[in-house]
Amino acid sequence: MTIAVLPLLARRTAFVAAILAFASLLSAQELATWQVGTGTVNGVGAHPGMMIADGVLVADSGTQPARVVLLTAPKSVITLGANAAFSLAVEDQGGAKHLIIALDRGAIEVSLGNKGGYADVIVRGAAMNVRVTGTLFVVERVRRDADYVALVSGHVKVGLRREIADALHKPGEEVDLQQHQGLSGTTGSGLGPIEILSGRPSVGDTTHTIHDQSTLGNGSWPDGDNPEVLGQAASAGAGSTNGPNTGIDNSGVNGAPLPAPPPGSLGLGANNPLNNSLQNDINNQIFQGLDHGSLGQQILENTLTPGPLGAPPRPPH
């Protein structure tokens, strides 16, 4: 009798495990969507419109920059440099919600248009926490134990991660960065001195670190206060205001005008890489969130630019 019961218990255990795994997938909060570029989300090849849940690793393919749109922080985008990777999470700290961008490797550019319902948006590196308001900045995880942040515009507060601050006996250490300033941080020595930046860093430059681009530049900041413009040819030298040609169209990001769409199109622009693939995925992936109210509205604000509607269908005979 005992032998007969064991297979039944095993099947029930497997069934319960499957139910729990499915419930975990359902409870995962969708925080972003892949916009353009080549990379992976949770180890699966990414495509435009692919939803990104909390806790999954988002990675660039290692060849060219890619872009992710935040859904719960309107008009905010993250541009990944080559081989960069991060994950998103929502943490409750003292009853307030905080969006955490955990940088695993490489460099990312964060253009934050709005914090949405979050008390803070925080980029967490190896040693540093970068608390963001409305701003544009670049963060690079230089090594497993070191970070560098370069502020293009706006304002950020840079401190040590709590466990690092406690280990170094530097609790509460925090620095206010102003635009065109940079700062390094390591797990062994804490925060470095504030540096004046002489060039606009670009995640598209694969030959120089963000620190070298920012401090070895030519002293000029043309278009320095705008988000990374992907797809424009530029020299890749240190301090270059744009990275090398990435082949990624930046149309529609942060309110940039789009080309006139053809009749009946979704208004994405004929030259935008999202145009073809998003039209195939949009009903199954993006508009599934429209019945959730704010989520659907944020997706529309962040990923689509209104365009003319096509002619209505012919009435039935």
| DSSP letters spanning 181-208 | EEEEEETTTEE---EE--S---TT-SSS
Q: What is the pLDDT of residue 228?
A: 76
Residues 101/70, Cβ–Cβ less than 8 Å:
no
Q: Which domains does the chain have, with CATH numbers?
A: 29-279 (2.60.120.1440)
**Residue 99 CA neighbour count, 13 Å, CB half:** 26
* The pair of three-digit structure tokens given for residue 242, joined into one six-digit string: 């744009």
What global pTM score does this model have?
Answer: 0.68
Residues 300/252, Cβ–Cβ less than 8 Å:
no
| Residues present in the chain in total | 317
Residues 220/235, Cβ–Cβ less than 8 Å:
no
- Reading the chain (317 residues) residue by residue, the pLDDT tens digits are 555 555 555 566 565 555 444 444 444 689 999 999 999 999 999 999 999 999 999 999 988 999 999 999 989 999 999 999 999 999 998 889 999 999 999 999 999 988 888 999 999 999 999 998 778 999 999 988 999 999 999 989 999 999 999 999 998 889 999 999 999 999 999 999 999 999 899 999 989 999 999 998 666 676 556 777 664 323 333 333 333 333 444 444 444 333 333 333 333 333 334 334 333 443 343 334 434 444 444 444 444 444 444 444 454 54
Distance CA 237, CA 213 (A): 8
Q: Which of 78, 70, 85 is nearest to 39 (CA)?
A: 85
Rounded to 10 degrees, the C-alpha dihedral 273/277/282/286 comes to: -60
* The pair of three-digit structure tokens given for residue 76, joined into one six-digit string: 């905010």
Q: What is the pLDDT of residue 314?
A: 53
Q: Where does the chain have alpha helices with state H?
A: 2-27, 162-167, 210-215, 274-281, 294-303
DSSP class per residue in 108-132: EEEEES--TT-SEEEEE-SSEEEEE
CA distances from 189 to 53, 168, 169, 184, 226 (A): 34, 7, 10, 10, 33
